[in-house]
Amino acid sequence: SEGKRRAGFLRGASVPLSAMLKRVLIANRGEIALRVRRACREAGIETVSVYSQADAEALHVQLATRSVCIGPPRAADSYLNSQALLSAAIATGCDGLHPGYGFLSENPEFADACAENGITFIGPSGDAIRKAGSKSAARDLMRAAGVPVTPGSDGPVSSVEDALAVAETVGYPVLLKASAGGGGRGIRRCDSSKDLPDAYAAAKAEANACFGNDEMYLEKLVLEPRHIEFQILADRQGHVIHLGDRDCSIQRRNQKLIEEAPARCLTPELREEMGRAAVKAAQAVHYEGAGTVEFLLDSDGQHFYFMEMNTRIQVEHGVTEMITGVDLVRQQLRIASGLPLDLTQEDVTLTGHAIECRINAEDPTANFRPCPGKVEFLHFPGGPGVRVDSALYNGCTLSPYYDSLAAKVMVHAPTRLEAIRRMRRCLEEFTLEGFPTNAELSYELLFHPTFVRGGCTTAFLDRSLPELLEFSRRVDDHKG
């Protein structure tokens, strides 16, 4: 077929440098800034890093060929300052800008502003971000495209009374969710009508503070679901493929803690059906670049529902790279340069099993209180099938101004059980002195029978937390 000829030609030949972007501003910080820099470096693309005053000694700045200070420590004055980022890109002659994840990565106005200033935004267009990024609008698009969605409001709910009426129709429990939300923020559960007014006000306030947009929608809460997401790639020529699935069901407060790929709970037939739905979802918004379509799989393991679409590279993209051998950031750079995908759906093969543990600077015994501080001693695990993405180094300080992510520890092995054993070994080697992390909690979780059997739902961690914390107090016995 034409697709296979195209893919075979492009994969076998090196892409001429003249076809790629020349210089990219990396509009982010930390480990994702390093990840993007590495991909650009290998593709022969120059980079410019940015930093706030708090990040002057950060690793992504120390390794940069060129860097620009964009403002004071607060994210609102630096990494969320679109004008400062655009000015830096223009002043340094960048023809591309990679937003990473978080900050302005899903801001349609920022994507538009890049285009208006002749800078290629390495991601979808502002219009596609609006369609997919507004959770309520995306639900309507998915219905029209034939992608299953959970029962809920048709568009945003404009008042408490509106929300109460929808909740009465679909039945409790329900979720109030920010239309522009992400990262587990702007979400509140309501089990009855008496809970809803306060939850509505709290969710709107959090959404406005985090996203500058307090629009809300409502959907029925699917009890005991699994959180399954599909990685997609789409080029400007209209080709869309998926690169398999990830199970992100281990989460607390809607924040993912452990991700793995592929999902053990999916049959080949269900994986194929959900993959087709993910492709249809991307086509519905005329998507371009790398993105993720997220689904809820109900407790019977047969019915799935569209939850949301993330219009950016995901924190957990590495596990997909490990099982497919596809460099997703390199693909983003190719697509943004106007090149077609260099692989077809038939070329995508899922090999082995990969697991990621997010190591955060937080104290699980103190309600997961963030605990940034100075790194007194640091040692990362290694060996076959091991990858660690982090911006930490001995003597550095994890800033209190930003996300508490300290490191992403990833493993790959032929089978899921071997991957679990490899991750256990890695967390035994992982050493970070200077502040608390959730590493011991993750280690204990890897021994829990429910996790080993692959039976965890999104409710698992909250329900099992007391038991896991008790085990983690005896972690030295396990390690011995």
Positions marked catalytic: 312
CA distance 178 to 133: 10
Of the candidates 295, 319, 269, which has an alpha carbon nearest to the alpha carbon of residue 423? 319
CA distance 134 to 198: 23
Q: Coil, strand, or helix at residue 120?
A: strand
Contact 440, 475 (CB under 8 A): yes
Contact 61, 26 (CB under 8 A): no
Chain centroid to Cα 21, Å, comes to 24
**Sign for the pseudo-dihedral over CA of 224, 260, 248, 227:** negative
CA distance 407 to 393: 11
Q: CA-CA distances (angstroms) from residue 159 to 182, 210, 214, 393, 419?
A: 21, 20, 11, 48, 48
Q: Is the peptide bond before 262 cis (omega within 30 degrees of 0)?
A: yes
Of the candidates 24, 81, 77, which has an alpha carbon nearest to the alpha carbon of residue 49? 24
Of the candidates 9, 8, 57, 100, which has an alpha carbon nearest to the alpha carbon of residue 313? 100
Chain centroid to Cα 463, Å, comes to 24
Chain centroid to Cα 376, Å, comes to 29
Query: SS3 letters for 299-317?
Result: CCCCCEEEEEEECCCCCCH
Contact 177, 216 (CB under 8 A): yes
> At what angle are helices 317-324 and 328-336 packed, to 10 degrees?
100
Contact 180, 207 (CB under 8 A): yes
Token pair listed for 144: 């029209």
CA distance 163 to 252: 25
